[in-house]
Amino acid sequence: MLGKDDRIEITVTVNGESQVVDVASSDLLIDVLREQLHLTGTKRSCDLQICGTCTVLVDGKAVSSCTTLAVETENREVRTVEGLADGETLHPLQQAFIDEFASQCGFCTPGFLMTAFALLDEVSRPTPEEVHRYLEGNVCRCGSYTNILNAIERAQPTTER
């Protein structure tokens, strides 16, 4: 078994690119993303898996990177907010967040985008209750919830508007 300071090389796919990173067994995914890979779009806030600000996708599932060990992502696919757009072409969720004025300070935006991405991946036409339940793990202190909900609604491809 590894001690907390033992280091190990792991291979992880981040935003479609295979990466080899040297991590301590106690390193958190958020720190590896932000400090080693310089993907600072993933934000840190509560450190307790409650505020959702650090949400990323691991094999398509939304997880809090502040409480996920980097070693757990070995040979898995991690997607961060930087991996949502296709080059300069925004993902429909990103465009919807702009069009609905869903960001104020914007610090929670990456986490909401990744949670919403996982939601729409799992349920293409979620009910309002399903959306609320999914968003229970994301805090926006600026209180942009209505606009965020509208953006998630707008981003659904089958929505008739």
Partner 1 sequence: MTTTGHSIGKAVPRPDAFAKVTGRAQYSSDITLPRMTHAALVRSTSSHGRITNIDTAQAEAVAGVVCVVTGRDMAELGVVDRHYGLTVLDQPILSDDLVRYSGEAVAAVVAETAQIAGEAATLVEVSVDPIEPMLTVDQALEGATLVHPERESAGSDGANIAAYYEFADGDVEAALAGAHYVHEAVFRFPMVAHYAMEPHCCIAAWNGTDLDVIAGTQQPFKVRSDLARMFGLQQNQVRVRVPYVGGGYGGKLLSKYEPLTVALAWKAKRPVKLLLSADESFRTISRHGSVVTMRTGVDADGNIVARDTRVILDTGAYADKGPGVAKKAAYRAKGPYDIPHFRSVAMAVYTNKVPAGAFRGYSTPQVVWAGESAINEIADHLGIDPLQYRRDHLLERGGDFMPSDTPMDADLVGGLQLAADGVRWAVPAPEGRGKGLATGVKDGGGGPSRAEAEVRLLADGSAEVLTGTSEIGQGAHAVYTQIVAEELRCDPARVTPRLPDTATSPFDHGTEASRSTVLVGNAVRKAAMSVADQLGEMVERLLGTRRDFVIEEHRLVFDDGSDAVLAELMARDRNLPVTHEFELGPIVSLSYHDTLVSGKAPLGTPSNFYEVGHGAAEVDVDRETGRVELIRYTSVADVGKALNPQTCAAQDEGAAIMAIGHTFFEEMVFENGELLNGNLAEYRLPLAADLPREGMGVELLENEDGPGPYGAKGAGEAGIISMAPAVAEAVYQACGVRIHDLPLNPQRVWRALNEATTQPGPD
The contact set with partner 1 (CB under 8 A) reads 34, 39-48, 50-51, 53, 80-82, 84-85, 90, 94-95, 97-99, 101, 103-110, 113, 131-133, 135-136, 138-149
Minimum distance from residue 35 beta carbon to partner 1 (Å): 8
Query: Phi/psi at 150 (nearest 5 deg)?
Result: -65, -35
Alpha helices in 68-108 (DSSP H): 92-99
When the beta carbons of 20 and 48 are compared against partner 1, the nearer one is 48
Read off the DSSP letter of residue 69: B
When the beta carbons of 11 and 143 are compared against partner 1, the nearer one is 143
Pairing of strands 77-79, 61-64: unpaired
When the beta carbons of 25 and 104 are compared against partner 1, the nearer one is 104
Minimum distance from residue 49 beta carbon to partner 1 (Å): 9
- The single residue listed with the structure tokens 């980097």 is 70
55 CB neighbour count, 10 Å cutoff: 28
3-state SS record for 10-46: EEEEECCEEEEEEEECCCEHHHHHHHHCCCCCCCCCC
When the beta carbons of 76 and 90 are compared against partner 1, the nearer one is 90
